Each structure stands twice: as structure tokens, then as C-alpha cells.
Structure 1
């Protein structure tokens, strides 16, 4: 009996400690769950979503008029909520009012048929209707907007530096597609860069801001609003004004490469005929 007493005591001690460990583990688990529940409750109470109102924001009066125009003329291609229709028209969610102004004011939209690139034509909507449709799309999904003050260019007489800056920016960012003289040019897949000779300041600015067709988007991170206005100032002052370039022909203001090629071709022909005439006389 005496020899077995220490063993029995060890067994009894283990039995007494086992429930104590179990209770500690259970208590730790309960405390952890309570802490998680408390943290979740605090987050739920103070999270912005807890107070978010799911009620749709009503459209402004201008946007409501724009919605009616959209439903009558645009819904068949762009869908009931401007989400787009496969094979017909893209989604307009997020394109912004600037894109609508460019497409609608130039008559490119509504499109009459599917083609590689929508061409400019007589607008179907007046300025007021265009702004109403643009406001509807803006309130529907947001996106780029034109300057609220409607200022798209500067006066070169009061700000002559805008003209020089605009010319430099135009040569860096635009001539590869539109040419040095803004006459436009052919692109791939049946598309083309349009001529800028008749483009309005609003059209040029909105095109830079939204990047229609193959044109890259020149957001405010790429070209600041002031830089966009400088480019518009250069185009409307230098490229759209009728100036006498001198000589017999202006060659459409296509730039030095075209002009050099033309004079080279004409000069070679004249030299060849002159050489033949001299040889015949001798």
C-alpha cells in the first residue's frame, strides 16, 4: 500500500488539473468570441454603409428631359438604363457628359448605321437638348465633364504665351494623327483622324477629354485644363484662320514633308524635260 501511494497521488493530481485546463481553454474561447462580436458590432455601428440610403437620387429637371430624349432616340442601341446592347451600342455608364456633348453635338450620334467610324454630320439635337441628354448620362453614371465656365480657349492677344505653348503641345501630341496643319489622316481598320479646320473649341476640348474612336484620352493627368486650352487656342488661331501662305499653292498645309516631296517631284520633272529639250536642241 505504501509503495502505491505516490502513484495514486500523481493520478489524482492529474485528474484534478485536467478539468482546470479544459475550463481555461473554454474561457479563452468564450473571451475571443466575445471580443470578435464586440469588434464586429462596433464596426457595423460606425461603418458608412450602416447609414447609407438605398433610395435612388431623383433626377434633376434637366436630366429628366434628357431621359425622355434618350428613351426616344438612344434606347434601342444603348439599352433602357444606358447599360449597352450587345452588337449595337456600348454602355454609357461612366462616359460622362463630355462624351455625350462631343458625339451628339457633332452629329456622330445617333448613328444611322454600323460602320468603322461614325462620321460627322448635321446634329439631330440642338444645344439645349444635347445638354439635357448629357446631364442625364452624367447623373446616371458620372464621368468626365467639360469646364463649368464654358472657357475652352484663351485670347492670344491678351495671353500670347498660350499660342506658343499650344503649338508645342500640339506638335508633341496631335500631329502624328492630325498632321502639322490639322488636315487629318488615315488610320488603321478603316478609321481616320478628322480634320480640325472646322472643329469648334468645345469639340476639340471634349475630344481631348474623352478620347473618341482611336484617339487617346488626354485626361487632366496627361494634359491639364490649361494645356488643353492652349492647344485649342493654337488650333483656332493658327490652323483655322485663312492666311495667305504665299506662292501659287498652299498644298493644304500638310507640312514640310508633303511640301518638300511636292517640290522635289515637280522639280525633277522640270529638270528632266529641260535636259531632254537641251539635248534635242544640241
Structure 2
């Protein structure tokens, strides 16, 4: 037999080198990880693109709304309030009144005013909801003021018991304990609060239209205002169980009614009985 020299053959060396250079097999977890990374990167790029597009679209819509509001203002309001909202001898400035004041005054039909008088009265609204919001958006760009309240504070879902306490303390002296309204001085009056939307009630408290004081968030918190709205909506949905309400004018009016009509009826019956006996 031929003795081995102890040196590996060339073919064996080539096989060993080939085995050393063979790439490692990729595991299934690595494939899944690469797939997840790829999907995440694609989703991130898409989200960034759509967010940018949405922001640009929202900016365009806001600019269009403000532009529409400016046109409406110049056509319907500038003759009294001035071209730059600076005010005139006939109407106050609107700089800094905010969107809430415009939404209340225009959204309830009080503005544009039909005629000068002790106070602007509620009447049919002359603009669509979109036009009202456009006017409010334009005025809100001229000075900082209260914004239109969020729906969560105007939905009437607050605490009516707490709202009743707050209303009787802060509002009943003018609006009556049942929100029926009442007379003020110099031909002015506090309007009835039935049939008024929660948004307009909140805006009235926030901006203080006509002779009404301003109840900012330091006087009545947003939750307090929400509770007051809930109380008024509770009264509106639950009529008085005591019969004829006499306009919800309170015990003084009810007592006067008894004295005039009740006592008058007694006197009339007495006179009739006396005449019959004679």
C-alpha cells in the first residue's frame, strides 16, 4: 500500500474552502422582521404624506371660510361697524369680541339689527349656518376673543340640580327662576330662555350680550355653564305639574292673580246673591 504523506490533497482542500465560504441560511424570524420594517416604513411615509395633505387642505378651507366671512361682513355689517371692525357712532367695535359673540348675535337673528332701539330683539336668522360660521371665523381673526364652545359643554347632559342652584343665584333676578324672562329698565328686557339652543345659552353667558353681565370661566366654569344649560333644558322638557303656569312669572304674579280675580269673583257672587235676595 502507498503510504500517506500526511498532506491533504488539493481536491480535499478545495471542498473545505467551499464549505467555509457557504453563506449562512436566513432564519424565518429575520424574514418576518424585514417584512415588518418595510411595512412600517411604507406606512410612516404614507401617513406623513396624508397628514401634510390634510393640513394643507384644512388650511385652504379655513382661508376660504375667512374670505367668505369677510365678503359677508363688508356687504352686511361694515356700514354700522366699520370696514375694519373699528366701530362707528351707530355700532360698537367688533375687534376682540371673538367668534362666540358673532355666532350668538347673528345666529339668533339679532344681527343685522332691523332698527335701532333699546336692545336688539331675536328674529328670523338671515344667514345659513355656514355663513354664520364664516362671519364668526372672519371676526375671530381680528383680535382675540371667546371661541364658539365645544359641543360637550352645550349638549344639556350636565347636572340640572347643581345648574338650578347656579341659575337661581346668578340669573333668576332677571330671567325669572323658570327662565321665563322679565322686564328691565328703559324698555329693555331679559328674554325667555325656552327654545334657545345650548350653544347660544353658553355664548350669552360667555359674552354678555345687551345688558347681561359676562360670566367668564372664573365666574362660572365650563362645567357650571353646562349644568345651567342642563337645568334649563330640564325645565323645558318637564312642564309644571301644578296646572296653569301663568307664564312662570313667580309667586308675586300668582298672588296678584288670586287677589284680583279670586277676590273679584267673591265680590261678584256676593253682589249677585244680595240682588237676588232683594
Q: Settle same-fold status: TM greater than 0.5.
A: yes
1:215 alignment partner in structure 2: 212
Question: Greater CA radius of gyration, 1 or 2?
Answer: 2
**Under a length normalisation based on structure 1, what TM-score does the superposition of the two structures give?**
0.71
Q: In structure 2, what is the Cα distance between the partners aligned to 1:163 and 1:102? A: 23
2:67 alignment partner in structure 1: 64
1:100 alignment partner in structure 2: 102
Q: In structure 1, what is the Cα distance between the partners aligned to 2:269 and 2:202? A: 51
Q: How far does residue 147 in structure 1 lie from its aligned partner after superposition?
A: 2.2
Q: In structure 2, what is the Cα distance between the partners aligned to 1:234 and 1:148? A: 18
4+ runs deviating over 4 angstroms: 274-280
Q: In structure 2, what is the Cα distance between the partners aligned to 1:234 and 1:120? A: 22
1:176 alignment partner in structure 2: 173
Q: In structure 2, what is the Cα distance between the partners aligned to 1:154 and 1:179? A: 20
Q: In structure 2, what is the Cα distance between the partners aligned to 1:121 and 1:104? A: 10
User: Does 2:239 align with 1:237?
Assistant: no
**Number of residue-to-residue matches in the alignment:** 217
User: Does 2:161 align with 1:164?
Assistant: yes
| 1:251-270 map, 5 Å | 251-270=246-265
Q: In structure 2, what is the Cα distance between the partners aligned to 1:106 and 1:220? A: 23
Q: 1:90 to 1:237 in 2, by over 3 A?
A: same
Which one of 73, 78, 83 corresponds to residue 81 of structure 2? 78
Q: 1:257 to 1:168 in 2, by over 3 A?
A: same
Would the aligned equivalents of 1:153 and 1:230 in 2 still touch at CA under 8 Å?
no
Would the aligned equivalents of 2:98 and 2:145 in 1 still touch at CA under 8 Å?
yes
Unaligned runs of 5+ in 2: 1-59
Q: How far does residue 80 in structure 1 lie from its aligned partner after superposition?
A: 1.2
1:129 alignment partner in structure 2: 131
Q: In structure 2, what is the Cα distance between the partners aligned to 1:255 and 1:142? A: 40
Q: In structure 2, what is the Cα distance between the partners aligned to 1:251 and 1:244? A: 10
Q: 1:135 to 1:258 in 2, by over 3 A?
A: same
Q: In structure 1, what is the Cα distance between the partners aligned to 2:192 and 2:150? A: 27
Q: Secondary structure at the match of 1:146?
A: coil
1:48 alignment partner in structure 2: none
1:90 alignment partner in structure 2: 92
Unaligned runs of 5+ in 1: 1-57
| 1:269-280 map, 5 Å | 269-277=264-272
2:118 alignment partner in structure 1: 116
1:41 alignment partner in structure 2: none
Would the aligned equivalents of 2:181 and 2:191 in 1 still touch at CA under 8 Å?
yes
Q: In structure 2, what is the Cα distance between the partners aligned to 1:223 and 1:108? A: 25
Q: In structure 1, what is the Cα distance between the partners aligned to 2:199 and 2:78? A: 26
Q: How far does residue 261 in structure 1 lie from its aligned partner after superposition?
A: 2.2
Q: In structure 2, what is the Cα distance between the partners aligned to 1:153 and 1:256? A: 31
Deviates most, 226-235 or 253-262:
253-262
RMSD between aligned residues = 2.1
Q: In structure 1, what is the Cα distance between the partners aligned to 2:167 and 2:229? A: 9
